[in-house]
Amino acid sequence: MSETDHSSNEESPANNDRDGLSGEYDPEAVEPTWQQRWVDEETYAYQGDLDTQYSIDTPPPTVSGDLHMGHLYGLTLMDFVARFKRMYGDDVYFPFGYDDNGIASERLTERELGINHGDFTRREFQEKCRDVCQDYEAEFTDDVQSLAISIDWENTYKTISPQVQRTSQLSFLDLYDQGREYRQRAPTIWCPDCETAISQVEQEDLTKQTKFNDIDFELVEAGDGETTQETFTISTTRPELLPACVSVFVHPDDDANQHLVGGTARVPLFGQEVPILEDDRVDLETGSGLVMCCTFGDQTDIEWYQAHDLDLRIAIDESGTMTDLADEYEGLSTADARAAIIEDLDEAGYLLESRDHEHTVQVHERCDEEVEYLVTEQWYVEILDKKDEYLDAGREIDWHPEKMFTRYKHWIEGLEWDWCISRQRDSGIPFPVWYCQECDEAITADREALPVDPIEDEPPVDACPDCGHDEFAPDKDVFDTWATSSLTPLVNAGWDWDADVGELRMEQPELYPMNLRPQGHDIISFWLFHTVVKCYEHTGEAPFEDVIIHGMVLDENREAMSKSKGNFIAPSEVIDEYPIDATRYWTASASIGDDFPYRENALEAGERLLQKLWNASRLVDQLTEDVDRSILDEERPESELADIDRWFLARLDETIESLTERFDNYEFAKARDDLRTFFWSTFCDDYLEIAKQRLSGGGDESTEYTLLRAHNTFLKLWAPLLPHVTEELYQRLYDPEESLHRQAWPEPAGYDADLAAGETAMEVIGALRRYKTEEGLPLNERLEAVDIYGHVGGFSDAISDVMHVTRIETFDDEPEVTTEISDIDLDYSLVGPEFGSDVGAIDDAIESGEFEVSGDTLYLADGQFELDDEMFEIEKSRTYSGEGQMIETERAVVIVR
RNA sequence: GGGUUCGUGGUCUAGCCGGUUAUGACGCGGCCCUUACAAGGCCGAGGUCGGCGGUUCGAAACCGCCCGAACCCA
């Protein structure tokens, strides 16, 4: 029978059908079995309990990408929360979204099928996208399930689904009706390869090798009207923009060229006359100090265009092709035009020099194509007017870690553009808008009719309400993906238009605001900010209560993983090598917010912990072989517990309490370390060794109860971090019927014990172990007599049991030894404020022995200083000359005889 | 170039409002097979807390500058 064959566990739990735990834990067999069963049995189903719900706004991953370490990390963190909250008594709503909407999936489809979106109708192409995405989605589901993420698979959504399209279009209409959206012809950042507008945040830097060209411009008229100078030189990396040149700029501090300002110049080859103006945005460092402004070469050009009210000359179209403004170069690509123009400039004698130059260009992050700046008609969400409100909304959220709010704040404060939400792509959610062909009036869809695709569907009116014209043109654009992804809290809550009452409502209002938004710090400006904007505008409140912001996963050398660097580690490689529980154990060590290095040996440490848990469980099981597990149904009164057992249960109470707080504050690393230390040192090394001895001579009900209570509790405390091994043990040893992950989180039972005496006893045990080790004795060597000077309460039996001591005597007073004062420890937090700059002199006095203790007072340096007893502590050194050997610990003195 | 965050033994990390002897784990060295576990137990070595300067009786912690890294933005 295999270990994972659970059919043998069908008899009643009280019967303890335990075939004993086999020698080794076999995660390779155990983990997939449980993953499958949890899904099949819907262990994580949301029950719809309105009073105790806890909702998590999970990030929908782009399905076109493989699962990477960032997913593994982020999902696992969410899962710690979900599993803890579920056991702690909440009804957890843990959904999953697939982001298959937008440019990423569109480009994936084109690549996968070797097609171009332009060759199909929008609906046809979208069909193909769905087909391609479906396989990737299935793969993603498998991957996420293999990480044991406790998602409720009945609550999933796709961002391209009709329902989400409807939500997204409703959002558009609502903002439009509120007057928060506008359509404007304005300079836009444009990707010629994807042929779409993109937002500011979708572009990134790329350093490129290019030529810096010095070109002569003919001076038509100088600003001072006097100069006899005939030409001047400008430097440019983009001579193909000469036909789009609308002015030349001089820096106000540029004395050498000041006389040109106010004049006009003639652009070589193309002949247009342009004004020479002054502006401090000219970069004096590079080139000649004279710079041409074209519509548009970069963002500064746009600023100049707006600030100086310049002409508009469009020389490059949407596909990166030269327009008729470029005369004979019309129809050439920008690259070809650049080459041809340089050649012609050279021939005509305008080109003075062309030299190598490295500079930074803006590219589209998805395809690395250099962006252009075009004037196009786009939809914008107005955000600049409400910065303060979005900041306040951010302040209402509890940030973990708190410091991440700063990034949000700075992002908002630095905003300069409204949010451009239209994209000229096919795979996406269409704008539900038509335009009157006569007066351009925008006609929006009826809410009841959503989702609509204006290319395929008819507008809701027969005639333009403004001018009466009856022909309409569809809006062909689709939404920016963030315009949809920013609605996840509303998608989860089932936000929709209720036609009966004529308002927007939520199907599950109890989920909103979501209790938790988990995400990486790299998308604070995308996902988090946009979600706040959208949801705040729709509902008037922040969309989540807590946010946890995690860092990036780095490689073993603390460098960011990237495909180009080749230091990319795929989760599948890790999973093949290590148990999932071990990877989760590693994940739990991350300090939330900090970047998180991959560590092979952290995974090995996880593996060892699993083995330790398994072995300890096996011992507990053996020691309680004949004990009916139903004794756990009732709590055992203190009076029926031996001191040592009561001590351990009291310590367990403490741990439960602090651990609960750790989990509640998302402090997984601390929870993990605290629990590991308590389990490994206190339970395994200390208590279990004692219990072993106590039970060696036959049953002891108090100890048996304590062992089982503790072990059962440990499984629950470990469950959020190590779901597989704990479930396997729980089902085998306690309850084969019900999942551990639906059990109640442990509560302190309220046991009282002499914790100080327990602590001292453990110190004494440690001292005796050290004694045996140093004497070269086996740990089970019998010791005849041990005297303990110190308070060990009722624990001396435990000490004698575990250390095999025949006779123990305990004393509350000091042993008969010679003591002398070896040092004085000062409490500087008291001495410092009191004595200030004299502290140095006091230290010197102690150092040189110029002190005297009398009663409770310490006199220093011939009575120059007097310290009260709470300000100092006397360190003594003891010499023992009696029979046996003395061992000192912090709280006790032990003599082995 | 600007902003945010981080920088602690070989590696990863704890260390709230400043209190002098800096936590734990991994790795390393030594000893021990004690009837769950040698993937274990015990002991030990190893750090001028990135650098410089400042505030203070006292700084890993507070301030300034510099260096390095991650992310965001130009």
Kindly tell me the burial class for residue A47, based on how many C-beta atoms sit within 10 Å of its own C-beta (0-12, 13-18, 19 or more).
exposed
Which nucleotide is the nearest neighbour of A601, by CA and C1'? B26
Instruction: For residue A667, say whether its CB is under 7 Å from any atom of strand B.
Output: no
Which of A271-280, A539-548, A606-615, A671-680 is predicted least confidently? A271-280
Residue A287: its pLDDT value, please? 64
Instruction: For residue A827, say whether its CB is under 7 Å from any atom of strand B.
Output: yes
Which nucleotide is the nearest neighbour of A620, by CA and C1'? B36
Res A673 pLDDT > 80: yes
* Distance between the alpha carbon (CA) of A837 and the C1' atom of B20, Å: 15
* Distance between the alpha carbon (CA) of A616 and the C1' atom of B39, Å: 14
Instruction: For residue A116, say whether its CB is under 7 Å from any atom of strand B.
Output: no
Residue of A625, A608, A586, A574 lying closest to A725 (CA atoms): A608
Res A10 pLDDT > 50: no
Instruction: For residue A564, say whether its CB is under 7 Å from any atom of strand B.
Output: no
Report which listed range, A162-176, A232-246, A312-326, is most confident: A162-176
Instruction: For residue A685, say whether its CB is under 7 Å from any atom of strand B.
Output: yes
Percent of chain A scoring above 70 in pLDDT: 96
Q: Read off the pLDDT of residues A409-457 as tens digits, 9 standing for 90 and up.
A: 888 988 877 888 988 877 789 999 999 999 999 999 999 999 999 999 9
* Distance between the alpha carbon (CA) of A762 and the C1' atom of B46, Å: 27
pTM above 0.90, yes or no: no
Average pLDDT, chain A: 87
Q: How far apart are CA A789 and CA A342, in angstroms?
A: 95
DSSP conformational letter for A429: P
Instruction: For residue A543, say whether its CB is under 7 Å from any atom of strand B.
Output: no
Residue A303 φ/ψ, nearest 5 degrees: -60, -40
State the greatest distance between any 2 C-alpha atoms of chain A, in Å, as a whole number: 115
Label each residue of A265-324 as H, E or C: EECCCCCCEEEEEECCCCCCCCCCCEEEEECCCCHHHHHHHHHCCCCCCCCECCCCEECH
> Do residues A141 and A71 lie in contact, with contact meaning Cβ atoms separated by under 8 Å?
no
Res A499 pLDDT > 60: yes
Q: Read off the pLDDT of residues A774-808 as tens digits, 9 standing for 90 and up.
A: 787 777 888 888 999 888 888 988 898 888 888 89
Instruction: For residue A831, say whether its CB is under 7 Å from any atom of strand B.
Output: yes
Protein residue with the closest CA to the C1' atom of nucleotide B26: A601
Dihedral angle, C-alpha A72, A74, A77, A82, nearest 10 °? -100
- What is the distance between the terminal CA atoms of chain A, rounded to a whole angstrom? 54
* Distance between the alpha carbon (CA) of A402 and the C1' atom of B65, Å: 27
Which of A50-59, A155-164, A216-225, A513-522 is predicted least confidently? A216-225
Residue A361: its pLDDT value, please? 75
Instruction: For residue A605, say whether its CB is under 7 Å from any atom of strand B.
Output: yes
Report which listed range, A6-10, A234-238, A655-659, is most confident: A655-659
Give me the helix-helix angle, A688-696 and A796-803, nearest 10°.
80
Instruction: For residue A591, say whether its CB is under 7 Å from any atom of strand B.
Output: yes
Residue A82 φ/ψ, nearest 5 degrees: -60, -45
Residue A696: its pLDDT value, please? 82
* Distance between the alpha carbon (CA) of A475 and the C1' atom of B67, Å: 54
* Distance between the alpha carbon (CA) of A841 and the C1' atom of B55, Å: 22
Which nucleotide is the nearest neighbour of A522, by CA and C1'? B71
DSSP count for chain A of H helices, then E strands = 24, 36
Res A870 pLDDT > 80: yes
Q: Beta partners for A110? A: none
Which of A55-59, A64-68, A673-677 is predicted least confidently? A64-68
Q: For strand B, which residues in window 192-211 of chain A come within 7 Å by CB?
A: 200-201, 203-205
Res A15 pLDDT > 70: no
Structure ipTM: 0.94
Q: For strand B, which residues in window 347-386 of chain A come within 7 Å by CB?
A: 360
Res A364 pLDDT > 50: yes
Residue A727: its pLDDT value, please? 96
Instruction: For residue A876, say whether its CB is under 7 Å from any atom of strand B.
Output: no
Instruction: For residue A600, say whether its CB is under 7 Å from any atom of strand B.
Output: no
Res A12 pLDDT > 60: no
Q: How far apart are CA A647 and CA A533, in angstroms?
A: 54
Instruction: For residue A560, say whether its CB is under 7 Å from any atom of strand B.
Output: yes
DSSP H stretches of helix in A12-121: 27-40, 69-88, 103-113
Q: Is A563 annotated as a binding residue?
A: yes
Percent of chain A scoring above 90 in pLDDT: 46
Residue of A120, A117, A90, A88 lying closest to A103 (CA atoms): A117
User: Which structure tokens are listed for A576?
Assistant: 């093949």
> Do residues A305 and A261 lie in contact, with contact meaning Cβ atoms separated by under 8 Å?
no
Which of A185-199, A429-443, A590-604, A834-848 is predicted least confidently? A185-199
Instruction: For residue A877, say whether its CB is under 7 Å from any atom of strand B.
Output: no
Q: How far apart are CA A258 and CA A716, in angstroms?
A: 78
> Do residues A716 and A663 lie in contact, with contact meaning Cβ atoms separated by under 8 Å?
no
Dihedral angle, C-alpha A201, A207, A211, A217, nearest 10 °? 30
Instruction: For residue A339, say whether its CB is under 7 Å from any atom of strand B.
Output: no
DSSP conformational letter for A11: S
Instruction: For residue A780, say whether its CB is under 7 Å from any atom of strand B.
Output: yes
Kindly tell me the burial class for residue A595, based on how many C-beta atoms sit within 10 Å of its own C-beta (0-12, 13-18, 19 or more).
middle
Instruction: For residue A611, say whether its CB is under 7 Å from any atom of strand B.
Output: yes
Sole residue written with tokens 């300079």: A187
Q: For strand B, which residues in window 710-749 of chain A come within 7 Å by CB?
A: none
Which amino acid, residue A290? L
Instruction: For residue A555, say whether its CB is under 7 Å from any atom of strand B.
Output: no
Q: For strand B, which residues in window 500-529 of chain A come within 7 Å by CB?
A: 521-522, 525-526
Which nucleotide is the nearest neighbour of A360, by CA and C1'? B74
Cβ neighbours for A842, distance < 8 A, ≥ 6 positions apart: A826, A831, A835, A860, A861, A865, A867
* Distance between the alpha carbon (CA) of A844 and the C1' atom of B52, Å: 30
Per-residue pLDDT band for A177 (boundaries 50, 70, 90) equals very high
Residue A1: its pLDDT value, please? 33
Instruction: For residue A141, say whether its CB is under 7 Å from any atom of strand B.
Output: no
Residue A3: its pLDDT value, please? 38
Q: Read off the pLDDT of residues A264-291 as tens digits, 9 standing for 90 and up.
A: 999 999 989 999 988 877 776 666 778 8
Instruction: For residue A828, say whether its CB is under 7 Å from any atom of strand B.
Output: yes
Protein residue with the closest CA to the C1' atom of nucleotide B72: A522
Per-residue pLDDT band for A20 (boundaries 50, 70, 90) equals low
Residue A286: its pLDDT value, please? 66
Q: For strand B, which residues in window 378-437 of chain A come within 7 Å by CB?
A: 403, 406-407, 410-411, 414
Q: Beta partners for A190? A: A197, A372
> Do residues A49 and A628 lie in contact, with contact meaning Cβ atoms separated by under 8 Å?
no
* Distance between the alpha carbon (CA) of A520 and the C1' atom of B54, Å: 37
Bases of chain B within 7 A of a CB of the protein? 3-6, 11-15, 19-21, 24-27, 30-37, 39-43, 57-58, 69-74
Per-residue pLDDT band for A19 (boundaries 50, 70, 90) equals low
Q: How far apart are CA A147 and CA A611, in angstroms?
A: 19
Per-residue pLDDT band for A646 (boundaries 50, 70, 90) equals very high
* Distance between the alpha carbon (CA) of A133 and the C1' atom of B68, Å: 42
Q: Give the pLDDT mean for A559-576.
A: 81
Which of A40-44, A575-579, A717-721, A867-871 is predicted least confidently? A867-871
Residue A201: its pLDDT value, please? 64
Instruction: For residue A688, say whether its CB is under 7 Å from any atom of strand B.
Output: yes
* Distance between the alpha carbon (CA) of A365 and the C1' atom of B3, Å: 21
Res A340 pLDDT > 80: yes
User: Which structure tokens are listed for A41?
Assistant: 């049995």
Label each residue of A805-855 as H, E or C: EEEEEEECCCCCCEEEEEEEEECHHHHHHHHHHHHHHHHHHHHCCCEEEEC
Res A11 pLDDT > 50: no
Q: How far apart are CA A269 and CA A726, in angstroms?
A: 78
Instruction: For residue A779, say whether its CB is under 7 Å from any atom of strand B.
Output: yes
